[in-house]
Chain A
Amino acid sequence: MAAKPLFGRGLRLLSVITAITLLTGFALVFFYAPLDADQGVIQKIFYVHVPLAIVSLCGFVAGGLMAIQQLRTRDRAWDMRSYVAIHLSIVFGVAVLITGSLWAKRSWGHWWVWDEPVLVSYLIVFLLYCCYQPLRFSISDPDRQSRYASVFAIAAGAFVPINFVAVRLAVQHVHPRVLSETGGHLPGKMMLAFYVTLLGVALLFATLWKLELTSKNASEQLRRLRRSFEETPPGELPAEAPEPVGVG
């Protein structure tokens, strides 16, 4: 049995880069970017909220693309990648909704506002993706599970942009936006801090994604090893002695 390589290669380097970028980003946010004139210190939450939202939406769409790849190649590894991407995006999504609510409460006085199209569309997308796991795990056959999950991921991935268009058409925006479509309106210093935190959060997503894939892969290999040990009678080494596999 040729030991499949773990996905752990480069993980350590990636996590170090992630930590450095995030720390630099937060240092920039607190010591370099100017305080917002009307919102004060609460505006700093923007540097967490918006990157999280952008990254998790990209994660949802990336999950859909990986699902296409899975259906084309029939490779279960792509299904695993798609699953982990969507799963992490949901976790990030919870953080987005919480930080968004906090920000809305402080700057507009309400926990929730319906006339902010991005917020509303995000909630709908989030609600849809919350069904991904219940659907996935209510199908027992593993092959079918991965196919059905992929179909869901593709349909939902196509839904994300449509939904954003619909909500944006329906709502005239009344609030000044920190980040408009062109990315203008933001003073240079804020801009720099924002891009660094965005990069940091994207790297964080990549690191967590890789980490979870590694651990899933490792536990799968462990299960396979254990089964091959259990099948051999006691006192006898299994015919294919598994070689030790290095991590990282």
Chain B
Amino acid sequence: MLRKDLRIELRTRESAPAMILFSLTVFVLFHFGVRRDEIDGALASGVLWVTVLLAAVLGVNRLFASEREGRALDGILLAPVDRTAVYLAKAAALFLYLVVLEVVAVPAFAILLLGPGLGGALPELPLILLVADVGLAAVGALVAALAAEARARDVVVPLLVLPLYVPLLIAAARATEPLLTPHPGPHGLAKWLGFTGVYDTVFLLVAVAVFDYLLED
């Protein structure tokens, strides 16, 4: 399932490049919106995370697109696969899109906007990004399935997923903030990473528990 999604993604190049392009556009918007050439500290970490979240919404919106257009969901349901496997494949696909997005967008962010440079953030920032991506993917795949049947899908997805992402944004932005500051004070990296881990676990469990009911007919 995951392999199929990735193959489609490699052939059509629909989600990840769109997310990357979108994030670059948002950086440009922020440059003019806050009227600064270089940012650091809380502002930088906020800009980075809000951009990642908005790009994630794009990915969530497209996550079930191929099934919907090809009416393939029924076929998947007929196949003798566990429903949980469908969910995990979708979440894993979203997770990989996010990783690809960040591999391009974070260095681009450093070049375009960031004042202090990424050197001081190196061991920790990828770790934060990965832990947060798990949560983004877990919630995103659930919401994508939830909204797949809704008529006003394009409206429902961002309205649903963004409030759900707020705790993640709080933790990730707080954890990143000292890494992007030239002379950081004490930072509670462990606390915020721990919280993000709890968020990931809770929503993965909830999603696995309820996902069966979404795809049954």
Task: Determine if B199 and A152 form an interchain contact, defined as CB atoms under 8 angstroms apart.
Answer: no
B175 to chain A, nearest CB (A): 11
> What per-residue 1/0 map shows which CB atoms of B206-217 lie under 8 Å from chain A?
110111011011
B205 to chain A, nearest CB (A): 9
The SS class assigned to the A binding surface is helix
How extensive is the interface on chain A, given as a class?
20 to 34
Contacting residue for B163 out of A128, A138, A150, A167, CB 8 A: A128
A147 CB within 8 Å of chain B = yes
Task: Determine if B203 and A155 form an interchain contact, defined as CB atoms under 8 angstroms apart.
Answer: yes
Task: Determine if A138 and B206 form an interchain contact, defined as CB atoms under 8 angstroms apart.
Answer: no
What CA separation (Å) do A156 and B171 show in the bound complex? Answer: 19
Question: Given A124-B166, A135-B150, A151-B146, does the pair A162, B198 have CB atoms closer than 8 Å?
Answer: yes
Task: Determine if A138 and B150 form an interchain contact, defined as CB atoms under 8 angstroms apart.
Answer: yes
Task: Determine if B202 and A135 form an interchain contact, defined as CB atoms under 8 angstroms apart.
Answer: no
Q: Which residues of B contact A156 (CB under 8 A)?
A: 164
Which residues of A134-186 have CB atoms within 8 Å of chain B's CB atoms?
134-135, 138-141, 144, 147-148, 150-152, 154-156, 158-159, 162-163, 165-167, 169-170
Total number of residue pairs linking A and B with CB closer than 8 Å: 94
B202, B207, B209, B210: residue with the most chain A Cβ atoms closer than 10 Å: B210
Q: Which residues of B contact A71 (CB under 8 A)?
A: 210, 213
What CA separation (Å) do A155 and B205 show in the bound complex? Answer: 10
Which residues of B167-215 have CB atoms within 8 Å of chain A's CB atoms?
167, 170-171, 174, 191, 195, 198-199, 202-203, 206-207, 209-211, 213-214
Question: Given A151-B210, A170-B170, does the pair A131, B151 have CB atoms closer than 8 Å?
Answer: no
A245 CB within 8 Å of chain B = no
B152 CB within 8 Å of chain A = yes
Q: Which residues of B contact A166 (CB under 8 A)?
A: 166-167, 170-171, 195, 199
Q: Which residues of A contact B163 (CB under 8 A)?
A: 124-125, 127-128, 131, 159
What CA separation (Å) do A167 and B170 show in the bound complex? Answer: 7
Question: Given A155-B142, A166-B167, does the pair A138, B202 have CB atoms closer than 8 Å?
Answer: no
Contacting residue for A159 out of B146, B156, B164, B214, CB 8 A: B164
Task: Determine if A131 and B213 form an interchain contact, defined as CB atoms under 8 angstroms apart.
Answer: no
What CA separation (Å) do A140 and B152 show in the bound complex? Answer: 12
B1 CB within 8 Å of chain A = no
What CA separation (Å) do A162 and B164 show in the bound complex? Answer: 10
Q: Which residues of B contact A134 (CB under 8 A)?
A: 150, 152, 155-156, 159
| Nearest B residue to A163, CB-CB | B167
Q: Which residues of B contact A159 (CB under 8 A)?
A: 163-164, 167
Task: Determine if A169 and B214 form an interchain contact, defined as CB atoms under 8 angstroms apart.
Answer: no
Q: Which residues of B contact A131 (CB under 8 A)?
A: 156, 159-160, 163
18 contacts between A and B (CB under 8 A): A71-B213, A124-B166, A127-B163, A131-B159, A131-B163, A135-B147, A139-B149, A139-B151, A144-B149, A147-B213, A151-B210, A152-B160, A154-B206, A154-B209, A155-B164, A155-B210, A162-B167, A170-B174
